[in-house]
Amino acid sequence: GAVVSQHPSWVICKSGTSVKIECRSLDFQATTMFWYRQFPKQSLMLMATSNEGSKATYEQGVEKDKFLINHASLTLSTLTVTSAHPEDSSFYICSVRTTGSYEQYFGPGTRLTVT
């Protein structure tokens, strides 16, 4: 399967600041990337889907101006949480998929804590 990395693995930031999370596909052309958020003891909730070179498609209820997603290349997507609030504290996981493939490969996740 594909090797997917995320950076950072954990981050603490103050309310009102912004934080950027990177998702890299190391050996795989990630034509589609997904960003999920997972609160403790809950399921993965899809935030947005991005296709390389296109604008991300956000799920209902996810603020696109707060969660900025950039998928500039076939190996890198970034999620920027702007004006972070404590309620944004969560586990953020990306996944990648290539053209014609059903399977998605997950990154290791990023634990965000907003104080």
Partner 1 sequence: GENVEQHPSTLSVQEGDSAVIKCTYSDSASNYFPWYKQELGKRPQLIIDIRSNVGEKKDQRIAVTLNKTAKHFSLHITETQPEDSAVYFCAASRGGYQKVTFGTGTKLQVIP
Residue 100 identity: G
Are the beta carbons of 75 and 30 closer than 8 angstroms? yes
Pairing, β 57-58 against β 76-81: unpaired
- Which residue number, 42 or 83, has a Cβ lying nearer to partner 1? 42
Our CB check for partner 1 shows the closer of 45 and 82 to be: 45
CB of 29 to partner 1, least distance (A): 14
| Least distance from partner 1 to the Cβ atom of residue 16, Å | 27
**Integer CA distances (angstroms), 95 to 4, 40, 51, 115, in order:** 8, 19, 12, 27
Which residue ranges make up the site for partner 1 (CB under 8 A)? 1, 31-32, 34, 42-46, 49, 51, 91, 93, 97, 100, 102-104, 106-109, 111
Give me the least distance between CB of 111 and partner 1, in Å please.
8
Question: CB-wise, 82 or 89, nearer to partner 1?
Answer: 89
**Omega into 40 within 30° of 0, i.e. cis?**
no
